[in-house]
Amino acid sequence: MIPRYFAVAEAEHELQNPTSEEKLVLLGERLGLGPVSRVLDIASGRGGPAVLLAQQFGCTVHGVEIAPEFRAAAVERAANAGVADRVAFELGDAANTTFETESYDAALCLGASFVFGGLADTVDALTPAVRSGGYVAVGEPFWRRLPLPDEYEDRRDPWTTLEGTVVVFETSALPVVSVIASSEDDWDRYETLHWSAVEQWLTANEGDPDAAEIKARHERWKRTYLRYGRELVGWAIFVGWKRP
Ligand SMILES: C[S@@+](CC[C@H](N)C(=O)[O-])C[C@H]1O[C@@H](n2cnc3c(N)ncnc32)[C@H](O)[C@@H]1O
């Protein structure tokens, strides 16, 4: 189960990360995707990246997603986009899912390395599923600079610098061969879509028992983003190559 806040705040997101369609197309190019490619998409969310890659490159995508409402939105999106024959979304906890070994050209985990306990464990978990010569791509936050200000509330996040993130990724013996980083525009689009979705939901659901908690979380994260996050938190898709 994911906290209800996310189902409310991400009800309008096509991409549930600070990135863009252009950057995901670039990712597909860097992964060398084509009509015969098979992609594993861990924590596939509302299906935005999977559907886009299937449309652009003709590849097949196997998504795994734990939230039933996100998985349902993904299935609908794939049908509307005419790629339902190439994109399948499994409902389940990716941490407890067994993947066929050496059977994907690329394995993605965009914004959900917590599922496996962190970045290095995510790369370790996904590498066996990828064929020799394929890729593992993980979308991960990083600190733009350190040290963090003492008054920053969310200092406990387990991230490191951009350079440190590549070092951690490469402890799994896959060299990082691409970094596709988010811009300020990507961040603003992603963050402010939360704000508008939550404001609309609160207006329509005043008496909901979760309304106070969702409002409090919304206000805290909005403040943190404006005060620190926009300046201090980066996000990028790191692509590692499984050398033949
Ligand atoms: C930040 S969103 C990213 C969604 C998608 N990858 C994208 O880029 O649009 C993280 C996703 O991880 C899913 N998730 C969380 N825990 C999970 C788990 N144990 N197994 C599968 N999915 C999980 C959430 O429900 C959510 O859809």
Mean pLDDT in the chain? 95
Digit-coded pLDDT (tens) for 103-116: 999 999 999 999 99
Q: Are 129 and 63 in contact (CB under 8 A)?
A: no
Among protein residues, the one with the nearest Cα to ligand 1's atom 14 is 43
**Which residue in this structure is represented by tokens 């860097």?**
30
Q: Using most ligand atoms within 8 A of CB, pick from 10, 44, 108, 237 the residue to mutate for ligand 1.
A: 44
Neighbours of 47 (CB within 10 A): 29
183 φ/ψ angles, rounded to the nearest 5 degrees: -95, 175
Of residues 61, 59, 42, the one with CA closest to residue 50: 61
Interstrand relation of 104-110 and 38-42 (parallel, antiparallel or unpaired): parallel
Cα 220 from Cα 153, distance rounded (Å): 9
Digit-coded pLDDT (tens) for 142-191: 999 998 888 887 667 789 999 999 999 999 989 999 999 999 999 999 99
Q: Are 140 and 234 in contact (CB under 8 A)?
A: no
State yes or no: pLDDT of 232 exceeds 90: yes
Q: Are 77 and 89 in contact (CB under 8 A)?
A: no
Task: Provide the pLDDT for residue 155.
Answer: 66
Q: Where are the domains of the chain?
A: 4-188+223-241
Task: Provide the pLDDT for residue 199.
Answer: 97
Per-residue pLDDT averaged across 21-48, rounded?
A: 98
Cα 222 from Cα 131, distance rounded (Å): 41
Task: Provide the pLDDT for residue 158.
Answer: 81
Of residues 182, 152, 140, 159, the one with CA closest to residue 24: 182
Task: Provide the pLDDT for residue 152.
Answer: 81
210 residue type, one letter? D
The model's confidence at residue 33, banded by pLDDT at 50, 70 and 90, is very high
Model's pTM, two decimal places?
0.96
Cα 244 from Cα 242, distance rounded (Å): 6
Per-residue pLDDT averaged across 180-205, rounded?
A: 97
Task: Provide the pLDDT for residue 53.
Answer: 98
Architecture of domain 4-188+223-241: 3-Layer(aba) Sandwich (3.40)
Q: Using most ligand atoms within 8 A of CB, pick from 6, 10, 16, 193 the residue to mutate for ligand 1.
A: 16
Per-residue pLDDT averaged across 20-29, rounded?
A: 98
Q: Are 228 and 122 in contact (CB under 8 A)?
A: no
Per-residue pLDDT averaged across 25-45, rounded?
A: 98
- In the reported structure, the alpha carbon of residue 212 is separated from the centroid of ligand 1 by a whole-number distance in angstroms of 24
